[in-house]
Amino acid sequence: MRVIKPQPLSKKAFAPYGEYYSMQKPDGYALQGEIHRFFPDRVLANMTNGNVGFSTILVKKPEQMLIKQAEYHTTTCELIMPLNDDMIIHVAQPSAGKPIPEETRAFIVPKHTLVKMNACIWHLAPLPKTKDELAALIVLPECTYINDCKVVDLQPEEQFVIEL
C-alpha cells in the first residue's frame, strides 16, 4: 500500500492546489485605526453560485489514516480552516473525473490557517493531527455537497495511507 508523509505547508508546494493564509498570525500591510488593524482580502474566493454556506465538520482521528475515497467540486473552490488542532489534508490536481492517487500529496495545515483549494482539486475530509476529533470550518456555496460534489471510491490498489 502506498504511504504518503504529510509535509508542512509552503507557498511553493501548495500552489498547484490553491492558497492559504494564517488567520491567527496575519502578516503584510494592515489598515489601521486607533484600536484595530485590518488585514483585508488575504484569500480571495470567487463563489458566484448564490449563497455561501459556513459549515462545521467534525472528524474523528482514525487509528490508521487509510484513504478510500476522494472528491472534487467542478464549479467552485473550497475553503477549510482547522479550529482546534492542526489538520492533515490530501490533495491531487484535476484529472477529468478519474482519481490520480499516485499524484496525491498531503499537507499539515496549522490551526487557524485558512486553506483555499481550487475547483476540481481532489480531496476529502480533513484529518486531525493530534486531537481525538478535529473541528474545522468549511466554506462552500450553499448545497455544494448535493449539487457539485463528485465522490469516487478508490479501488484497493489506489488506496493509500497517510503517516506522520
Higher pLDDT, 60 or 96: 60
Question: Is the CB of residue 22 less than 8 Å from the CB of residue 110?
Answer: yes
With residue 110 as reference, give the H or E element that holds it.
Answer: none
Q: How many CA atoms lie within 13 A of 35 on its CB side?
A: 0
Q: Quote the pTM value.
A: 0.93
Q: Is the pLDDT of residue 49 over 80?
A: no
3-state secondary structure 76-90: CCEEEEECCCCEEEE
Q: How many domains does the chain have?
A: 1
Question: Is the CB of residue 127 less than 8 Å from the CB of residue 68?
Answer: no
Q: Domain span at residue 121? A: 2-162
pLDDT tens string 101-116: 999 999 999 999 999 9
CATH number, domain of 18, equals: 2.60.120.480
* Phi, psi for residue 115 in degrees, rounded to 5: -110, 130
Q: pLDDT averaged over the chain?
A: 94
